[in-house]
Amino acid sequence: MTMKRDLPETTDPGALLQLRQLGISYGTGSSGERHWILRDLNLDVRDGEFLTIMGSSGTGKSTLLNLVAQTLQPSAGQIAFRGKVVGGADMPADPGSGRQIGYVTQDDNLLPWRTIWDNVIFPLTLAGKPSASEVERARRVIDQVGLTQWKKHYPHQLSGGMRKRASLARTLAYGPPVVLMDEPFGALDAETRAQLQADLLDLWASEKKTILFVTHDINEAIALGDRIVVLSGSPGRVVLERTIDIARPRDPELVFKAPTFAGHYDAVRSCLRAASQP
């Protein structure tokens, strides 16, 4: 059912994920009036890149991730993965196809009736009995996020930060090359958030994932990302792309000491300011 087609214009041969003229709209065709949330969005994401996505609220940041995760049907454009078109306006959205995408949402979305271990192993069981190496990987990521002693507990017995860790472990155990994260640390206290940011950078470095990370916190975007993309306008599109040249490994809490930090911060902030003005 997946049509194997090459993307007509491949600008970046190293790109893992390519979005071309991607758009989504809602509204009925009868009045001829369609409201576009995102339109003509072009974006290339390199293999192993940590991309942070910003934008004032309502510019379609979460919608963009939903399009990439294929939980929403695009109205225009194409999505290509490793040069092959996997989604677009002319094919039905098929979430979970090919096990390429992991999605960590704002809510932890753990199944409340499963223990932490059963939650982490859940995506692996959907494709049949998990192999020994998959079980081993699940055990390793649970250990990496520090939840080994909590494996047999139910989600409601854990704190918000721990549930977030469990949710992250579940996605990493699933083993997708691309991980989408939608303000995953937004609802956490500052200390927990800093700890999780540092852990995430460690995991990213060791697991070699490609991450698309939505946040509304400029500090977080600079501290984590290789590149920041700012979405703006209605319909939303990319108004700023900025490479963050701060050396790694980074300490998210001390990243503001980097000499180029202020420049990045001001550029992103002025872009967001301009976007929020009518």
Partner 1 sequence: MWIDRIALACVTLAAWEAIGRFRGSYWISSPTLVVERIWILAFNGDLWFHGRFTLAEAFGGFLLGAIPGCAVAMGLRSHPFVRAAFLGVASIGYAVPKTALVPLFILWLGVGPAAKVALVAAAIFFIVFYSTLNGVDAVDQKLLSSARVFGASEWQLLRHVVWPAVVPYMFGGLRVAVPYAIAGAIVGEIISSNRGLGYLAQFGASDFDTTLVFVSLVTVMLIVLSVSAALSRVQQRLLRWQTGSSQDPHAGAA
Residue 38 DSSP SS3: strand
Our CB check for partner 1 shows the closer of 145 and 255 to be: 145
Our CB check for partner 1 shows the closer of 161 and 175 to be: 175
131 vs 239: CA distance, rounded Å = 44
Our CB check for partner 1 shows the closer of 171 and 215 to be: 171
Q: Which residue has the tokens 């009518």?
A: 278
Residue 249: CB minimum distance to partner 1, A = 30
Tokens (6 digits) for 34: 């369609």
Residue 126: CB minimum distance to partner 1, A = 5
Site residues for partner 1 per CB under 8 A: 69-71, 95-97, 99, 101-103, 105, 107, 109, 111-114, 122-123, 126-127, 154, 156, 174
Residue 203: CB minimum distance to partner 1, A = 18
45 vs 135: CA distance, rounded Å = 29
Our CB check for partner 1 shows the closer of 121 and 222 to be: 121
Residue 135: CB minimum distance to partner 1, A = 16
28 vs 148: CA distance, rounded Å = 50
Q: Report which residue type is found at 248.
A: R
Residue 107: CB minimum distance to partner 1, A = 6
Q: What DSSP string runs through 195-263?
A: HHHHHHHHHHHHHT-EEEEE-S-HHHHHHH-SEEEEEETTTBEEEEEEE----SS--TTTGGGSTTHHH
Q: Which residue has the tokens 């649970």?
A: 142
Our CB check for partner 1 shows the closer of 111 and 262 to be: 111
